[in-house]
Chain A
Amino acid sequence: MSIPLTQYWRLLRRYLRPQGPKVLLLGILLLTGIGLQLYYPTVLQRFIDQAGAGTPGLRLLALAALFLGLAIANQLLALWATYLGQEIGWRATNELRAELTEHLLGLDLSYHKDRTAGEMIERIDGDVTPLANFFSAFVVQVAANALLLAGVLAVLYTVDWRAGLALSGFAALHLTVLLRTRHSAMPGWQASRQASSQFFGYLGERLAGLEEIRANGAEHAVRLGFVQALRTRLQAELKAGRGMAIMLVVSFGLLAVGTSTAFGVGLALVRAGAISVGTAYMIFFYTEQLRRPTEQIVQQMQDLARAGASISRIGDLLAMRSTLAVHGEGAPLPDGPLALAVDRLTFGYIPGVPVLENLSFALKPGEVLGVRGRTGIGKSTLARLVARLYDPVGGSIRLGGVDVRSVRLADLRRRVGVVTQEVQIFRGTLRDNLTLFDATVADSRIWAALDELGLREWAASLPNGLDTELASGGGLSAGEAQLLAFARVFLKDPGLVILDEASSRLDPVTEQRLEQAIDRLLLGRTAILIAHRLSTLRRAGQVLSLQSGPEEVVAG
Chain B
Amino acid sequence: MKPWRTVLRLLAYRPWLVAACFLSWVLISLTPTGLGLVARSFFNALSGSAPALDSLWLLAVLPVAVQSGRLLVTWLSVPVSVLQRFTVSALLTTNMLEQILRRPGARALPGSTGDAISRFRDDADAVALFASMITVISAVAEALSAGVTLGLMLHINAFVTVAAVLPLVGVMIVAKAAGQRIGRYRDRSRTAAARVTGMLGEIFTMVPALKLAGAEANVAGHLRRLGDQRRAHAVQDSLFTELLRSVYLNTANLGTGLVLLLAAGSMRSGTFTVGDFALFAAYVGRLAGFTGVVGDLLASYKQMGVSLRRMQALLEDAPAVALAAHSPLYLDTPLPERHRRSLQPEERLNRLEVEDLTYEYPDSGRGVRGATFTLTRGTLTVITGRVGSGKSTLLRALLGLLPAQGGAVHWNGRVVDHPGSFFQPPISSYTPQVPVLFSATLKENILLGLPEAEADLAGAVHAAVLEQDVAGLEKRLETEVGARGVKLSGGQVQRTAAARMFVREPELLVFDDLSSALDEETEEKLWERLRARKETTCLAVSHRPAVLEAADQILLMSQGRVEMIGTAPQLLAASDEFRAILEGDRTH
How many whole Å from A529's CB to the nearest CB in chain B? Answer: 12
Q: 4 extra interchain contacts, Cβ-Cβ under 8 A, other than A256-B66, A376-B492, A509-B386? A: A90-B231, A109-B208, A230-B94, A349-B487
Please tell me if the beta carbons of B235 and A83 are within 8 angstroms of each other in the complex: yes
Cβ-based interface call for A208 (8 A): yes
Q: Given that A220-B449, A264-B60, A267-B46 are contacting pairs, would A252 and B204 also be in contact in the complex, using a CB cutoff of 8 Å?
A: no
A455 proximal to B (CB < 8 A): no
Assembly CA distance A217 to B400 (angstroms)? 13
Docked-complex contact A95 and B202, CB < 8 angstroms: no
Interface hits, B352-407 → A, CB 8 Å:
361, 363-364, 384-389, 392, 396, 399-401
Interface size of A in residues (CB-CB distance below 8 Å): 168
* Residues of A close to B588: CB separation below 8 A: 535-536, 538
A-B CB pair tally, cutoff 8 Å: 511
Contact with B along A205-240 (1 / 0, CB 8 A): 111111111111111111110110011011001101
Task: Tell which of A120, A375, A508 touches B204, judged by Cβ atoms closer than 8 Å.
Answer: A120
Are the CB atoms of B401 and A480 closer together than 8 Å? Answer: no
Task: Tell whether B569 is near chain A: CB-to-CB under 8 Å.
Answer: no
Query: In the docked arrangement, what's the CA distance between A508 and B522, Å?
Result: 20
Most B-side CB within 10 Å, residue of A65, A214, A241: A214
Complex: A527 Cα to B337 Cα, angstroms? 55
Which residues of chain A have C-beta atoms less than 8 A from B74's C-beta?
A: 245, 248-249, 252
**Which of A83, A125, A376 is the one whose CB lies under 8 Å from B489?**
A376
Convert A364-405 into 0s and 1s, putting 1 for each residue whose CB lies closer than 8 angstroms to a CB of B: 000000001111100010001001010000000000000000
Residues of A within 8 A of B106 (CB): 210-211
Contact B489 A97 (CB under 8 A): no
Which one of A13-21, A22-30, A409-417 is at the interface? A409-417
| Contact residues of A between 473 and 519, Cβ < 8 Å to B | 473, 475, 477-480, 488, 492, 501, 504-512
Instruction: Write the nearest CB–CB distance from A317 to chain B, whole angstroms.
Output: 13
Q: Is A270 an interface residue (CB 8 A)?
A: yes
Residue A154 lies at the interface, judged by CB distance under 8 Å to chain B: no
- The residues of A that contact B423 with a CB separation of less than 8 Å are 215
B517 to chain A: which residues have CB within 8 Å? 375, 421, 501, 504
A-facing residues in B100-114 (Cβ within 8 Å): 100-101, 103-106, 108-109, 111-114
Output the least CB separation between B191 and chain A (Å). Answer: 13
Partner of B218 from A74, A230, A436, A511 at Cβ < 8 Å: A436
The A271-292 residues at the B interface (CB cut-off 8 A) are 277-278, 280-281, 284-285, 288
| B211 adjacent to A389 (CB under 8 Å) | yes
| Majority-rule SS of B interface residues | helix
Is B428 at the interface (CB under 8 A from chain A)? yes
Q: Which 3 A-B pairs have the closest CB atoms?
A: A221-B449, A375-B491, A479-B387
In whole angstroms, how far apart are the Cα atoms of A218 and B503 in the complex?
13
Tell me the complex Cα distance, A504–B523, Å. Answer: 13
Contact A215 B278 (CB under 8 A): no
Stretch in contact with the other chain, from B4-12, B142-150, B175-183, B432-440: B432-440
Query: Which of B151-159, B236-244, B296-304 contacts the other chain?
Result: B236-244
Check if B261 is an interface residue, CB within 8 A of chain A: yes
**Of A82, A105, A507, which contacts B203 at CB under 8 A?**
A105
Q: Is B572 an interface residue (CB 8 A)?
A: no
Q: Select which of B94, B224, B401, B577 is within 8 A of A211 by beta carbon.
A: B401
- Provided the pairs A105-B219, A245-B78 are in contact, do residues A224 and B335 lie with their beta carbons within 8 angstroms? yes
A121 close to B (CB within 8 Å): yes
B290 beta carbon closer than 8 Å to chain A: no
**In contact, B196 and A208 (Cβ under 8 angstroms):** no
Given contacts A214-B101, A375-B490, A380-B490, contact A277 B82 (CB under 8 A): no
CB–CB A472/B111 < 8 A? yes
CA distance A284 to B63 in the complex (A): 12
A-contacting 9-mer, from B13-21, B246-254, B529-537: B246-254
A438 at the B interface (CB under 8 A): yes
Choose among A64, A94, A121, A220 the residue that contacts B230 (Cβ–Cβ < 8 A). A94
Interface assignment of A327: CB less than 8 Å from any CB of chain B: no
Cβ contact of B257, chosen from A67, A74, A207, A432, cutoff 8 A:
A67
The stretch from B318-326, B343-351, B455-463, B579-587 touching chain A is: B579-587
Which residues of the other chain, B, contact A413 by a CB distance below 8 angstroms? 211-214
A259 and B35 contact, Cβ closer than 8 Å, known pairs A210-B105, A215-B399, A427-B198: yes
